[in-house]
Structure formats: C-alpha cells, structure tokens
Structure 1
Amino acid sequence: MEFSPAPFFEDVAGGPAGGAAHWVRTTDNTRIRVGHWRTEGETNGTVMMFPGRTEYIEKYGDTAAEFASRGFAFLAADWRGQGLADRLLDDPRVGHVDQFSDYQQDVHATLALAAKLDLPKPWYVIGHSMGGAIGLRAVLERDDFAACAFTGPMWGIFFTPIMKPLSRLTAYWGPRIGLGEKTPPTTSLESYVTSQPFDGNVLTRDPAMYQMMKDQLAVHPELALGAPSTIWLREALDECAWLMEQTAPTLPALTFLGSHEQIVDRKAIRERMADWPSGTLVEIPDGEHEVLMEAPNVRGPVFDQLAVHFLAARSDASASAALSS
C-alpha cells in the first residue's frame, strides 16, 4: 500500500496536539486522505470516524479532542470525491461515486494505514450520516472492530412526500438520459453551511459549532462540496435498500438519533436498531442531524456514552482473550 504525508490544516482543526494526515492509494488508484491524532500515555484504543457526505478530517478536530480526553486515539478519512481526496468529476463541487461499494475500497485503505501506523487497538468505528451506511457495510463484511456506533446514519434518505417520487424518478432515470453527473433538481453546487444561515439549518442547534464549520470553509474553501450527482443519489438509495435487507451483525452497537432529524430517514434507523440484538438506540430531544456537534450540554453526555460503550467492548474483548489463552 502506497502512503505519504498529506496536508493537515491544524490552523482550523482545533483538535489535540500532534494531528497528522497521509495520502493513501486505494486498490483502484484513487487517492484519499486519512488523518489521525494519538493520545499520550496509556490508551483505550482508537476511534475511527467514518464521516458523512461533504465532510473532511478537520471538521472532527473537536471530536478528536473529546475522545483524547477520554483516553482514545482518533482517526478520520476524506472519502473519495470530498475533502482533499480525489474529486471524481470535472466539476469538483459535485459529490460523486461510481458505485457505493467503492467506498469500501477507501475503508480497506484506511484500515491498512491504521495498521501501518500501529494505531492502538481495539479499534472502534463511528459512522455519521453517509458514513453510517459505509460503516454498516464495513461491520457486516469485516471483523476489524470491537464495537460500532452511529450518529444520524444514512440507512434511508429523508424526502418530503412531494419530493420522494421526484427524487426517485431523478435517481433512476437521470443516468439513463445522460444526466448522471448532473445534480438533482432543487439542489445547489454551493456548500450547505456557506449558503445556509444558522437560523433554519438542519445540522446543529449550537451556533458556535455552526460558525466553526463556516470558518473552516472560509479559510480552506478547497474542502467545500456541493450537491451530489444523480448517480450518487441512485447508488445511495440502492445501498440503503440493501443494508436494510441484511441481518444485523452481532457487534455491539450504539446509535444516536436527533428528534428533529431531517436529512436521513428516522423510520429506517428505528427499524434497524429494533432488530439489532446487541444494539441500543438513544434519541436526543431537540437534536438535529449532527449530535456530536450540538451544544456542550448535549454532546458531552453523548461522548460519555460512547466512551462507556467502547470501554465495555474493550473489557469483553480482554475477557475473551483471557479465557482463550
């Protein structure tokens, strides 16, 4: 596996000291960027963040700091088509993937780098939004993680009753008539946080966190991403349908859902977690899509619960190893 140092915007990340990033080549020769923060002294393992669509490593600097204070190393990736990873279309503002399963090549490369860097085990994964779909497939197909967690996972996409049939028509007919690399109607090529004022946004109720997102893109506009391609929408809908057909894994899972979630399908999340034998769903009153970026009195307890969840899995893994030795 090929990897080399990559830019890391510590000026806006705001995470713990010592953050770094690497370029990694996937098996199909796509260049992605992976960032990590280590902890000082004894560690409880590494939390791997699988970000959502449009996101990038530096956005999770605060999250890395939260986990560092609880004794965890932290990793996040720029998936293909976003952040500083290779953009896949001539217009870099359009989020795109040829096949949704291509993201698993990014997962494989990310974990290979984590192994090369000897990031401490056990490894845990948190999938946010689109990263929740990527993460669920990963834990269905791999055994690298001691536990998993999700925040607003994209196991279905929320559409209003009026937009649902139009969106599906666009997703499945657009590519057939040569519009696959175009964005769906009513979407914008401008980044959501740069175009949407805080009032009325569907990401967070914390103005400080929303301003942080705006400030990061103002300083580093190359990180910004607009609407997805029609092909991305088709692939995402197909992936969500496939994921909902799969039997839940046995891996311990903790999922957070904001009560005001308006980006992903709340019904799909509730159904998936109701069917997960070792899974727990926590609904956040008045929470929006990004519960890790809500106000401190909301996100603090979320990080506490995640730490307890991961530490319990670490203890179970240690006990199992002792019994088998």
Structure 2
Amino acid sequence: MILSDAPLFADLADGPEGARGYWLRTEDGVRVRVGHFPSATGRGTILLFPGRTEYIEKYGRNAKDFADHGYDVLAIDWRGQGLADRLTSNRNVGHVEHFIDYQMDVAAMVAAAQALNLPRPWYLLAHSMGGAIGLRAAMEGLPVEGCIFSAPMWGIQLPQALRPVAWTIGLCASQIGCGSAFAPSTKPESQLITEDFSENKLTRDRDMYDYMRSHVLAQPDLGLGGPSLRWLYQALSDSKALSRRPSPNMPCITWLGSDEAIVDADRIRDRMAHWPGGTLEQIPGGRHEMLMEHYDLRRAMVDRSLGYLQAQAAPANARSA
C-alpha cells in the first residue's frame, strides 16, 4: 500500500493534535482519502465509516472523544464524496455505480491501517450509509473485534406508496443512461447550506450544526448535494440483499434515536433483535446524527460503546487463554 500526503483541515476538524491525511488508490484506480487521528496511549483503533455526504473532518470532535480514552481513529472519504474522486461530471451528485464498489474503498482503508501499524484491537464505528458498507464488510471478514453503529442505513425511510416508484425510477434511469441525474426532491447544494437549523433532521444541538455547516462554507469541495437515481436504486438493492443475511458473530452496539427520520428504524430494530452478542440503545429525542449531538450525549455514547465492547471481549479472551 502506497500512502501519499493528502490535505486534512485540522482547524475545521477540531480533533486531536497530530492528525494527518493520506491519499490511497483502490483496486479499480479511484483515489480516496483517509485521515488518522492519533491518541497518546494507543489502546486500540476505531475504523470510522462515515455516512453519505460526509468527510473526515466532520468527525474530528468524535476522534477527540475516542483519543481521550486512548484510541486512535482512522476515517475515510468514500468514493464520490469529500475530497475523494467524484464519479460524475457534476461533482455535487452523490453517485456510485455499484454499492459493492465501496468495499474496494474498505480494502484500501484496511491496507492503510496495516501500513500505518495502527494499534489493536480494531473496532468499527459506522454511521448511516457507512453502516450499510460496514455491515457488509463485517459479514465478509473485516478484521475488527466489534462494531458500533449509529443510525445505520440498513433500509431507507420512504413512504410505503413511494417505494415501488423509487425502485422503478432508479432502475429505468440506469437502463436509459440517466442514472447520474439527481433523485426527485433532492438539491445540488449541501443540505447544511440550504436548511436552517430549525428545519434540520440531523441534530438538536445548534453548536454541532454550526460546526458541520462551517466545514462546507470554509471548504466547499467537502460538500455534496443529493444522491443520484442510480445511487438510490443501488442503496435500496443493497439494503434488501443485506436484510436476508445473518448478522456476523461479533459484539455489536447500535444507537438509534426515537426521532429518526432518514433511515428505516424498523430494519434496525429487527436486525438487532437477532444479532448474537448485540444490543440496541434507543435515545429519546435523538435524531439521525447522534454523534453530532451535545457533548454529554456524545461522551456517554463513547463511554457506553467502548465499555460494552470491552466487556464482551473479556469472556472471549478468557476462553482463548
């Protein structure tokens, strides 16, 4: 794995000192970016899988929370977003040809973690779309000891009447060469730019909303608009395929807000009800971005997540001793 220096906007990230960015090339030649946030003690590493539209700097404060517990964080810009290669002539479209292509980004990220000799154990932290990518990766042997999911996109929240329409439009658009067009009702601009705090479905914390908004205002290249029709079809197809597969046999803690309005909460509850070694934490009043909520909740999520995973790992270590 060849690592070359990439920009990382540390002043915007507000994360641990010493953060560095790296460019990687995936198996199919796409350039993606990873960011390493170090800790002082190196007790382990969090592999952080962001959601759609997201980028490394958005998780700087979360990385600081984990660094305070002694964990490094390695985050990624998925293909088609952040500073990674965009996949259409219109860089504002959130697009992917096949959802499984994200697994090539995962493979490059794991190779980078190995090249950087990041401390073990490794754990997965995945939000929203990253939760779909991360679930498949965990099913297929991602070298982590456990998973933390935040509002994972194991289904998309759509009105029942619109589901067949979304499937049909997405499939037909791809077949006639219009798959890179914006999905209906979405916009070219970042939602953080077009929506006032009072309208947002992401967080109840004004400070964290302003934190996220400041990133795309200062560095517009980090921003992303709505998804393409092909992305929507691929996302629906992938979530359906994953719903038919059993959960991996590893510890898992998943966070879900009671006011979730973006991903399918029923899919999350159903999977976690049948996940061996898994638990679901439901937060009253929580919205989609619980990792972007107020400081006390963010810290409580980190404390509870690490405590749960470490407690689950202890019996396994005792058995192998």
Regarding TM over 0.5, the answer is yes
**Residue 296 of structure 1, CA deviation:** 2.2
Amino acid at match of 2:37: W
Map 1:126-145 onto structure 2 (within 5 A).
Answer: 126-145=125-144
Deviation, 1:53, is 0.5
The alignment partner of 1:88 has SS state of: coil
SS of the aligned residue for 2:199 comes to coil
Question: Distance in 2 between the 1:238 and 1:163 partners?
Answer: 15
Matches within 5 A, 1:14-25: 14-25=14-25
Q: Distance in 1 between matches of 2:47 and 2:316?
A: 18
TM-score for both structures, normalised by structure 1: 0.96
User: After superposition, what is the alpha-carbon deviation per residue over 1:201-227, rounded to whole angstroms, capped at 9, x for unaligned?
Assistant: 111000000000111111101000011
Q: Within 5 Å, give how 1:64-213 maps onto structure 2.
A: 64-213=63-212
- The 5 A counterparts of 1:244-283 are 244-283=243-282
CA contact (8 A) 1:103 1:134 kept: yes
Instruction: Output one character per residue of 1:139-197: Cα deviation in whole Å (capped at 9) or x when no partner.
Output: 00014000111000000000123433332222122212322110111111110111111
1:13-43 Cα deviation digits (max 9, x unpaired):
00010100100001111100000111113x3
Q: Partner residue of 1:31?
A: 31
Q: Deviations over 1:21-70 (max 9, x none)?
A: 100001111100000111113x3200111000000000000000000111
Aligned length: 321
Q: Distance in 2 between matches of 1:91 and 1:243?
A: 30
C-alpha displacement at 1:320, in angstroms? 4.8
- Residue 40 (structure 1) aligns with: 40
Verify the 8 A CA contact 2:252 2:309 in the aligned structure 1: no
Q: In structure 2, do the counterparts of structure 1 residues 112 and 316 end up closer, same or farther at CA, with 3 Å as the change threshold? A: farther
Residue 313 (structure 1) shift: 4.6
Identify if the C-alpha distance between structure 1 residues 320 and 122 changes in structure 2 by more than 3 Å, giving closer, same or farther: farther
What amino acid maps onto 2:232 in structure 1? L
Q: TM-score, normalised by structure 2?
A: 0.97
- Unaligned stretches of 5+ residues in structure 1: none
CA distance in 2, matches of 1:310, 1:61: 22
Identity of aligned residues (%): 46
